[in-house]
Amino acid sequence: MPHESAPNLLIRLDPASSVALQRQIYDGIRRAILQGIARPGMRLPSSRALATDLGISRTTTLLALEQLQAEGYLVSRAGSGSFVAHDLPDDLTRTPPEPLGFTPKAAHPPFSARGSLIAGTHPPSIRILGAPRAFRLGTPAVDLFPRKLWASLAVRRLRSLRPADLDYGDYSGFMPLRQAIADQVRTSRGTQCEAAQIFITAGSQRGFELLCSVLLDPGDLVWLEDPVYPGAVTALRHANAKIQPVPVDSEGLSLEAAVATGGDARLVFVTPSHQFPLGVHMSLPRRLALLRWASAHSAWIVEDDYDSEFRYRTHPIPCLHGLDTEGRVIYIGSFSKSVFPALRLGFLIVPADLVDKLAAARRVADIHPPKFEQTVLADFINEGHYDRHLRRMRAVYRERLDAMADALKRHCSGVLSLRSVHTGLHAIADVVGIDAEDLTSEALASGVEVIPLSAYSLGGARPPNALALGFASVPPAELAAGVERLAGAIDRVQSRRRKIL
Ligand SMILES: Cc1ncc(COP(=O)(O)O)c(C=O)c1O
C-alpha cells in the first residue's frame, strides 16, 4: 500500500508499520517542528483537514495533535486552530538546520561561464539596501507618487473584475494601454505610431532582452555607447552578442569612431535624448548620419528613451524614431521613472510586422506582463493623472536639482564640478584632485550613494574622473545633508592622500 502524506507537513504514514497511526502522525509533526520545516507561529492544518488528507479517522489526528499540545510543541487558539509554539520544549538542544541554499558547503555544480559573465555585469555594491537616500541613481520621487489615487484606481479595477479578466491576456499587452501609450508618444515624443505597434514589456529590461534574442544571432556585432547603461550590456551578453564599445562625444555616439573600428554592426544601441550616463543629447546631424549609415548597412537601431519626460530650461527633443522612415529604429520606453520602478512596465515601438513575431517569442519567458497592473496604468494615463503627475514632478525635480547644485557649490566647490543638466534625473560631477572611485568607497561607508563613471565603462576609452549623482529620489533637505556627508568623505580622502604624498 502506498504511503500517504499530508501536503503541508510531508507526514508519511506507513499503514503496514507496527507503529500506531496516531504515533506516526505525532512523530511526523514533531520532526517537522524540530527540523525547522514547521516554524514557530505557523498554523497547522486542522484535525479534520489532516484526517481527510491522510485518509484516516479524525479521532486519530485529534489525539496526535492533543498530545503535541500537551507536550508544548503546539498551542491552540480558540477559533483559529493549532500553531507551532514559540518556546519549544527541545529548543535548547537543537540547532536549526541551515536551509540548503545557504549552506557554505553546498556542493552544487558551478555557475556557467556565460552565467558568471552576465551576473558580473552590474557594478557591485553601489546601492545601500533600504529606503531611497541621497544620491540614489535611477529612482524617481517615490515619496511623492500619488499612492492613494493609485490605490483607488486599483480597487476600482479589482471590484469590477470579470472572469475573463483572470484569463491569459493579449500577448502584446492590454489594448487600452497600448492605445494610451501610442497617443502619448505621438504628442510628447514626436513620432507616428499606431497602438498595434506598441508592445508592452515588463520594464525596458525585458524589452532589451527580448529584442536581443530575436534580432541577433550569437556572435553578431553590436555598437554600444561607452560609457553605457549596464542593463543593455547584460542583455547583449545574454544573447552572446559581440560588443564593440564606441566613444561618446558632445554630440552623442561617435559614428566616425564606430565606422573606424572596421566591423559591420548588426545593431546599434543608443540613448539619444539623454546619453546614459554622460547626459549629452545626440545632435540632429549625428542622428541623420546614423540613420543613413543604418540604411546603407541594413542595421537595427535600438533607441532607449528612458527619462526624456523630464526636461529643465530646454525645449523637448523629438525622438530618433520620429526621423526614421524605414522601420529600422526600435524605440524602448519605460514607466520606471515616470510612474515608479516597482511597477515593472515598459514598452517597445516596433514595425507592425514584428509584433506577432515578438508576441510568439515572448512565450519562452513571460507570456505577457501581469494584466492587472496594465489595466491600472491604462486608467492612470487615460484619466489624465499621468500628465498631471509628470507636470508636478518636473517642478519637483528642478527644485531638487537646484538644492543639490547649491549645496555642492557651498560645500564641495574646487573638488566637485557639476555639469549642466537639461534632462533626466541624474547629474554628472567631475572630480578634481582625488580619485572618483576612492571617493565613492568613502561616501558609501558614510551612507551616501554615488557612482563613479568608471562603473559604466566598457573599457574602450578612459572614463572621466567623475561621479553620477541622482537628485530625484529624496527631498531637498536630504540632498543638502547628503552633500555635507559627501564633503566629509572628500576631506577624509584628501587627508589620506596628503599623508601618502
Ligand atoms: C539607461 C536606462 N534605460 C532604461 C532604464 C529603465 O529600466 P527598466 O524599465 O527596466 O526599469 C534605466 C533605469 O535606470 C536606465 O538608466
What does the pLDDT look like over 232-261, one tens digit per residue? 999 999 999 999 999 999 999 999 999 999
All 3 cell numbers of residue 66?
Answer: 492533543
* Higher-pLDDT residue of 34, 410: 410
126 CB burial (10 A radius; 0-12, 13-18, 19+): middle
| Ramachandran sector of residue 374 (left: φ over 0; alpha: ψ -120 to 50; beta: rest) | alpha
With a 6 A CB cut-off, is 373 part of the ligand 1 pocket?
Answer: no
C-alpha–C-alpha distance, residues 117 and 353, integer Å? 33
Helices 203-215 and 230-238, axial angle in degrees (round to 10): 40
User: Is the pLDDT reported for residue 127 higher than 80?
Assistant: no
User: Is the pLDDT reported for residue 60 higher than 70?
Assistant: yes
Rounded to an integer, the average pLDDT of 201-230 is: 96
Residue 217 Cα to ligand 1 middle (Å) = 24
What pLDDT sits at residue 93?
A: 47
Confidence tier at 124 by pLDDT (50, 70, 90)? low
| Cβ within 8 Å of residue 364, ≥6 positions away | 213
User: Is the pLDDT reported for residue 4 higher than 80?
Assistant: no
Q: Which of 208, 278, 334, 343 to mutate to test the pocket of ligand 1 (most atoms within 8 A of CB)?
A: 334
Rounded to an integer, the average pLDDT of 79-106 is: 67
Rounded to an integer, the average pLDDT of 433-454 is: 95
User: Is the pLDDT reported for residue 413 higher than 80?
Assistant: yes
Element (H, E) at 175: helix 175-188
User: Is the pLDDT reported for residue 91 higher than 80?
Assistant: no
User: Is the pLDDT reported for residue 491 higher than 80?
Assistant: yes
Please report, for residues 225, 254, 281, 282, 370, the alpha-carbon distance to residue 249 in angstroms, rounded to integers and kept in the order given. 10, 6, 10, 9, 40
Residues 274-303: tens digit of each pLDDT: 999 999 999 999 999 999 999 999 999 999
Residues 298-326: tens digit of each pLDDT: 999 999 999 999 999 888 789 999 999 99
Please give the backbone phi and psi of residue 176, each rounded to the nearest 5 degrees, phi first: -60, -30
Indicate which atom in ligand 1 lies nearest the CA of residue 345. 9
User: Is the pLDDT reported for residue 5 higher than 70?
Assistant: no
What pLDDT sits at residue 33?
A: 87
227 upstream amide cis, omega within 30 of 0: yes
Buried b vs exposed e over 251-269: b needs ≥16 C-beta within 10 Å?
bbbbbebbbeeeeebbbbb
Q: Which residue has its alpha carbon closest to ligand 1 atom 15?
A: 306
Rounded to an integer, the average pLDDT of 31-58 is: 88
Confidence tier at 23 by pLDDT (50, 70, 90)? very high
Confidence tier at 3 by pLDDT (50, 70, 90)? very low
What pLDDT sits at residue 2?
A: 45
Confidence tier at 121 by pLDDT (50, 70, 90)? confident
With a 6 A CB cut-off, is 334 part of the ligand 1 pocket?
Answer: yes
What pLDDT sits at residue 147?
A: 98
What pLDDT sits at residue 1?
A: 42
What percent of the chain has a predicted confidence (pLDDT) above 90?
Answer: 75
User: Is the pLDDT reported for residue 41 higher than 80?
Assistant: yes
Mean pLDDT, rounded, of the chain: 91
Element (H, E) at 89: none
Please report, for residues 167, 186, 304, 357, 473, the alpha-carbon distance to residue 354 in angstroms, rounded to integers and kept in the order given. 25, 20, 18, 5, 37
Q: Which of 205, 206, 469, 471 to mutate to test the pocket of ligand 1 (most atoms within 8 A of CB)?
A: 205
Confidence tier at 104 by pLDDT (50, 70, 90)? low
What pLDDT sits at residue 81?
A: 85
What pLDDT sits at residue 301?
A: 98
CA 362 to chain centre: 18
What pLDDT sits at residue 293?
A: 97
3-state DSSP assignment of residue 330: strand
Q: Which of 307, 347, 426 to mutate to test the pocket of ligand 1 (most atoms within 8 A of CB)?
A: 307
What percent of the chain has a predicted confidence (pLDDT) above 70?
Answer: 94
User: Is the pLDDT reported for residue 264 higher than 80?
Assistant: yes
